[in-house]
């Protein structure tokens, strides 16, 4: 099976843990090289966060376990990159 190189997740989480704590927990997983957590929306009890994880061989199940253990939930997998190299999205005339 081919390795996951990048995941982009839409996550709904409580205010605690902070995105700093959550990103640190994710960044120490085997196969993860870096994590970016960006706050998208805040309401009275929760936060919507866009999480981008990049690595050499990301185990989605372990990522999901850390997110769940933090009291959060994955709303959607917005993007996934697999294979030997990362392929960046290319804009086409239809995207303009």
Pairwise pLDDT comparison (64 vs 87), residue with the higher score: 64
Where exactly are the structural domains of the chain? 4-84
| Confidence tier at 6 by pLDDT (50, 70, 90) | very high
Q: What is the pLDDT of residue 90?
A: 87
Predicted pLDDT at 13: 97
Q: What is 4-84's CATH topology?
A: Alpha-Beta Plaits (3.30.70)
Region of residue 83 (phi > 0: left; psi between -120 and 50: alpha; otherwise: beta): left
Residue 1 pLDDT more than 90? no
Smallest CA-to-CA distance from 37 within 59, 22, 25 is with 22
To the nearest whole percent, how much of the chain has pLDDT over 90?
Answer: 84
The pLDDT, as a whole number, for residue 15 is 95
Q: Token pair for residue 33?
A: 């090289």
For the cut 90, the answer to whether the pLDDT of residue 91 exceeds it is no
């Amino acid at each position: 099976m081919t390795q996951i190189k990048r995941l982009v997740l839409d996550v709904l989480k409580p205010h605690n843990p902070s995105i700093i704590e959550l990103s640190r927990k994710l960044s120490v997983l085997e196969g993860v090289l870096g994590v970016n957590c960006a706050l998208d929306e805040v309401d009275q009890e929760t936060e919507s966060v866009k999480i981008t994880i990049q690595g050499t061989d990301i185990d989605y199940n372990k990522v999901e376990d850390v997110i769940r253990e933090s009291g959060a939930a994955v709303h959607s997998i917005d993007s996934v990159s697999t294979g030997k190299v990362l392929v960046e999205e290319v804009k086409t005339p239809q995207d303009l």
